[in-house]
Amino acid sequence: MNFVSYITSILERALVAGTPLLLATVGEILTERSGIMNLGLEGLMAIGAVTSLGVILGTENLFLGVLTAIAVGGLMSTIHAFISINLRGRQILSGLAISMLGLGLSGLLGRRYVGIPLPVYFEPIKIPYLSRIPILGEAVFTQNAFFYISVALTIIIWYILFRTKWGITIRSVGENPLAADALGVNVTKVRYICTIIGGCLAGLAGAQLSLGYIHLWIEGMVGGRGWIAIALTIFSTWNPLRAFLGSYLFGGVYALQFQLQGIGISPNILLMLPYISTLVALLVTSGATSRKRIGAPSSLGEPFIKGEK
Amino acid sequence: MEGFESLHSILKGIEVRKERKESKGELTFKSLDLRNITKRFPGVLANDNISLNFKAGEIHALLGENGAGKTTLMNILYGIYHPDSGEIYINDQKVDIRSPRDAIAYGIGMVHQHFMLVQTHTVGENIALGFKDSPFVMPTREISKKIGDFCDTFGLKVDPNAKIWQLSAGEQQRAEIIKALLRGAKVLILDEPTSVLTPQEAEELFQIFKRMAESGNCIIFITHKLEEVFKISDRVTVLRQGKVIATTETGKTDKATLARMMVGRDISFEVQKKDIPVGEKLLEVNNLFVRGDMGNTVVKNISFSIHRNEIFGIAGVSGNGQRELVEAITGLRKVEKGTVKILDKETQNKNPRDIGELGVSHIPEERLRFGIVPNLPVYENVILRDYYRPPFSGFLTLNINYIKEYSKEVVERFSVMTPSVETTVKLLSGGNIQRLIIGREILSRPDVIIAAHPTYGLDIAATDFVKKLLLQKREEGSAILLVSEDLEEILQLSDTVGVMFMGEFTGIVKPRETSMEDMGLMMAGSKKWA
């Protein structure tokens, strides 16, 4: 393997590995911008991965599989929304419960599917002309549909958050729900919508893992990616565009794992890499954000109590 | 949601302007009536069968003590609370206001005491929030233009691109007013609008009120300051314990009458302060620099000293470094540079307990956060300061019996209204909590008393009690640092006043030799004394 194709393949793998992180992170950014913290990503991704795979093994319909993952992710995050918004429960606990529920349920559902290779999966789509650009073009424009969709969704969500009236509404609800309420904004509705969309994206991220990346189901396949996405939400300072950087950086770490294993570095050390990188990233950003006043939405994790004293 | 419609128009590159429904606020506003409004909170009858009338073109003051039900009533009018019973009429037509959205549609706007603004957003973003006339895409650009027009009409100046947290309280208030007016408010409610302003800023605000009233709006402002009522209002309604005591034309009444209606008995405005010579220096602050929560320096080169038998007042609009200064002196905040000397010992960056043991008492600003432990009983809160040493505790155990006896004494001497010393403190009213804190802090005969906003939120009786107590301590030989936003209180009690602006003293003056106007100028930072 020559050097250029080596670089190209690392880059290409980095983007594949970064895509589920990007989807989950952007979903979490949207959720947290509205003031709800959903720590259930790991479980939502797992359940998304296993249900979409199950549907495809049954129907061989890719579209139906992805749709199922999105729907299940949205449905499970509705539970979180109900606990956090209506019952005003502890969001951290509810999120952890969703995470465990998703992991447990996916293990149970997925027992029959373990190791079965997929009959169909998302093939890379070569974009004409662009994919012939050396290195960058070959890596970026030969990805499967998940990659293109995730990029588009990230940009759309960024645009909505920072360039539209909805964005002002969502961010205001996350910063100061009292102010939004006093102007007639329905805080509950906004938070529900954002939490559910966030869950849908986590489900989609799960589908990417099983249908567009690993192509089979193994229990524990999500491997902490949900938690990394939560860290990436902080790392990207709640801005979808910065999530690109973080996701592909971590995608690169995953890609390197395999490459470095090839040159004889202990796989155990390599397996630790994403988690060590997460710690480092959090250490660096937490310090920087607290200095610059660009922090978490002010009412993140706090229930909104309307009306009565 | 108008999702598809909107996305569609993004593609076309056209701004969506939702068809402007003929809103009810665009009718000519004549009058607003509240009829038999009753609102009950657990354990409190906040509004008791209130009937009130407001007219177009008037400035109507709603006067009452804290807890009289003024804010609750206005929150009902603005749709934040729902009344248990009662009706609201606009132009003699019954209206149903179930949410702020309804209130806005009927042309009612409200500026809350604690501003309803998103601190990290710009003025434009705050105004565009939930605003039906702002475009879907790039809403703030359009809004900025509208703000410009408004500034000219009412003389409201504010930069639409500034972030809220960068603005002064006065500017934030203007943003709130514009927010309400842009939405077509004909009735504007303001809750204690002058509490965060310098006297000059308040004067500007009153001018804006006048212009708005002249153009046919109705201004309702909540206050507990009698001076303001006479300065600006056409009519005044006095509320006490949830009931309307009276509504009269301001010109036909006087201060004493209103005060009596407000409190329910005669009160004297006189505070007796004896002339006594000051003693030796007890507290000395030299060239103090302190950083704020955001890491920027918020106390800059502050120096002053306080002697025995002296009250040193610090005046200024809140947020000009007073809180950080107090926290630095009491050991709660790190001192960046400079010295604090208490009884000739350097105490900067010592811990609060060491400073307390030197004989310093602290009546803190946020009494629920720093003054008490809300979930503990009265007797445990009474000994929060000294629980670790005799006579309250022995080698290992607390002397519970002694503590309870001592607490009973505090409760009695400082007239804390509590069922027993075993009552959980959070169940007491604000005034009683303050009495408890003051009792704890000054019963030990402190040499230095640091009192931050000691009368904030207290009713007239409790305020009177606190003021007299501070003066008594002054006579007994304490050196007192008094921080307050209430300019009158500062001038009444202090022997010397330092005016703080942006972390610096803009003047250190004697109250008797200084006019209110000069104080106001110093509070706004425009006049410098050595």
Domain count of the fold of chain B: 3
- B14 and B44 fall within a common domain: yes
Task: Please give the residue of chain B at the shortest CA–CA distance from A309.
Answer: B41
Three-state secondary-structure class, residue A81: helix
Tokens of A112: 């029959």
Res. B224: pLDDT tops 70: yes
Q: Could you report the per-residue pLDDT of A160-207, keeping only the tens digit for each?
A: 999 999 999 999 999 999 999 988 899 999 999 999 999 999 999 999
Task: Please give the residue of chain B at the shortest CA–CA distance from A156.
Answer: B7
Tell me if B119 and A185 make a contact (CB, 8 A cut-off): no
Tell me if B128 and A171 make a contact (CB, 8 A cut-off): no
**Contact between residue B520 and residue B337 where contact means Cβ atoms under 8 Å apart:** no
Tell me if B137 and A164 make a contact (CB, 8 A cut-off): yes
Rounded CA-CA distance A290/B3 in Å is 35
Three-state secondary-structure class, residue B487: helix
Residue B115 domain flag: yes
Res. A153: pLDDT tops 50: yes
Q: Where are the alpha helices (DSSP H) in A34-128?
A: 41-59, 62-81, 91-110
CA distances from A222 to A24, A68, A218, A267 (A): 12, 18, 9, 18
Query: In this structure, what are the phi and psi dihedrals at residue B50, rounded to the nearest 5 degrees?
Result: -90, 130
Sequence letter at residue B269? F
Res. B17: pLDDT tops 50: no
Res. B370: pLDDT tops 70: yes
Mutate one of B41, B120, B138 to test the A interface: name it (highest A CB count within 10 A): B120
pLDDT tier, A7 (very low <50, low <70, confident <90, very high otherwise): confident
**How near does any CA of chain B get to the CA of A56, in Å?**
30
Quick one: average pLDDT of A28-37?
96
Rounded CA-CA distance B394/B121 in Å is 54
- B441 and B451 fall within a common domain: no
CB contacts < 8 Å between A and B, how many? 84
Q: Which of B221, B220, B161 is nearest to B194 (CA)?
A: B221
With a threshold of 0.90, does the pTM exceed it?
no
- Cβ-Cβ contacts under 8 Å, A309 against chain B: 41
- Cβ-Cβ contacts under 8 Å, A155 against chain B: none
**How near does any CA of chain B get to the CA of A293, in Å?**
8
Mutate one of A155, A163, A168, A238 to test the B interface: name it (highest B CB count within 10 A): A168
- Cβ-Cβ contacts under 8 Å, B140 against chain A: 168
CATH code of the domain in which B11 resides: 3.40.50.300
Q: Which residue has the tokens 């009829």?
A: B35
The pLDDT value given to residue B199? 82
Domain ranges of chain A: 3-292
Beta-bridged to residue B312, according to DSSP, are B481, B496
Contacts (Cβ under 8 Å, ≥6 apart) of B214: B57
Q: Could you report the per-residue pLDDT of B431-455, keeping only the tens digit for each?
A: 788 889 988 988 877 899 999 999 8
Determine whether domain A3-292 maps to CATH 1.10.3470.
yes
Task: Please give the residue of chain B at the shortest CA–CA distance from A297.
Answer: B120
Rounded CA-CA distance B235/B440 in Å is 43
Axis crossing angle, helix B169-182 with helix B199-214, rounded to the nearest 10: 10
Tell me if A298 and B119 make a contact (CB, 8 A cut-off): yes
The pLDDT value given to residue B196? 78
Residue B61 domain flag: yes
- Cβ-Cβ contacts under 8 Å, B131 against chain A: 165, 183
A182 part of contact set with chain B, CB < 8 Å: yes
**DSSP assignments along A120-133, one per residue:** S-----PPTTGGGS
Tell me if B104 and A178 make a contact (CB, 8 A cut-off): no
pLDDT tier, B15 (very low <50, low <70, confident <90, very high otherwise): very low
Axis crossing angle, helix A267-292 with helix A240-262, rounded to the nearest 10: 160
Residue B274 domain flag: no
- Cβ-Cβ contacts under 8 Å, B294 against chain A: 293
- B140 and B215 fall within a common domain: yes
pLDDT tier, B381 (very low <50, low <70, confident <90, very high otherwise): very high
Sequence letter at residue B137? V
Tell me if A168 and B139 make a contact (CB, 8 A cut-off): yes
Residue B275 domain flag: no
Query: In this structure, what are the phi and psi dihedrals at residue B336, rounded to the nearest 5 degrees?
Result: -80, -45
**Contact between residue B301 and residue B268 where contact means Cβ atoms under 8 Å apart:** no
Domain boundary among B232, B263, B294: B263
Task: Please give the residue of chain B at the shortest CA–CA distance from A305.
Answer: B80
**DSSP assignments along B499-517, one per residue:** EEETTEEEEEE-GGG--HH
- B510 and B414 fall within a common domain: no
- Cβ-Cβ contacts under 8 Å, A185 against chain B: 129-130
Tell me if A175 and B82 make a contact (CB, 8 A cut-off): no
Q: Which of residues 2-31 of A touch B (CB under 8 A)?
A: none
Of A199-208, B29-38, B244-253, B411-420, minimum mean pLDDT range? B411-420
- B133 and B144 fall within a common domain: yes
Quick one: average pLDDT of B259-264?
82
End-to-end CA distance of chain B: 61
**Contact between residue B355 and residue B331 where contact means Cβ atoms under 8 Å apart:** yes
- B192 and B126 fall within a common domain: yes
A70-79, B68-77, B394-403 — most confident range: A70-79
User: Among B81, B99, B128, whose Cβ lies nearest the Cβ of A184?
Assistant: B99
Tell me if B139 and A291 make a contact (CB, 8 A cut-off): no
- Cβ-Cβ contacts under 8 Å, A163 against chain B: 137-138
Tokens of A263: 């040159």
Quick one: average pLDDT of A61-69?
95
Task: Please give the residue of chain B at the shortest CA–CA distance from A179.
Answer: B116
Task: Please give the residue of chain B at the shortest CA–CA distance from A290.
Answer: B294
- B239 and B255 fall within a common domain: yes
Res. B209: pLDDT tops 60: yes
The pLDDT value given to residue B417? 83
Would you give the DSSP letter of residue B478? Answer: -
**How near does any CA of chain B get to the CA of A156, in Å?**
11
Res. A109: pLDDT tops 90: yes
Three-state secondary-structure class, residue B282: strand
The pLDDT value given to residue B94? 93
- B173 and B318 fall within a common domain: no
- B242 and B345 fall within a common domain: no
Mutate one of A155, A163, A169, A183 to test the B interface: name it (highest B CB count within 10 A): A183
The pLDDT value given to residue A293? 53
Rounded CA-CA distance B136/B139 in Å is 6
User: Among B82, B112, B134, whose Cβ lies nearest the Cβ of A165?
Assistant: B134
Q: Which of residues 76-105 of A touch B (CB under 8 A)?
A: none
Q: Rounded to 5 degrees, what angle do the CA atoms A47, A48, A53 make?
A: 100
Residue-range definition of the domain harbouring residue B416? 367-445
Tell me if A163 and B138 make a contact (CB, 8 A cut-off): yes
Res. B360: pLDDT tops 80: yes
Quick one: average pLDDT of B517-530?
73
- Cβ-Cβ contacts under 8 Å, A184 against chain B: 99-102, 104, 130
Tell me if B119 and A164 make a contact (CB, 8 A cut-off): no
Task: Please give the residue of chain B at the shortest CA–CA distance from A187.
Answer: B130
Cα B153 to its chain centre, rounded Å, is: 29
The pLDDT value given to residue A157? 97
- B108 and B71 fall within a common domain: yes
Q: Which of residues 183-212 of A touch B (CB under 8 A)?
A: 183-185
Mutate one of A172, A178, A192 to test the B interface: name it (highest B CB count within 10 A): A172
**How near does any CA of chain B get to the CA of A86, in Å?**
18
Contacts (Cβ under 8 Å, ≥6 apart) of A155: A240, A241
A292 part of contact set with chain B, CB < 8 Å: no
Q: Where are the alpha helices (DSSP H) in B129-165?
A: 139-154
**How near does any CA of chain B get to the CA of A149, in Å?**
17
- Cβ-Cβ contacts under 8 Å, A298 against chain B: 119-120
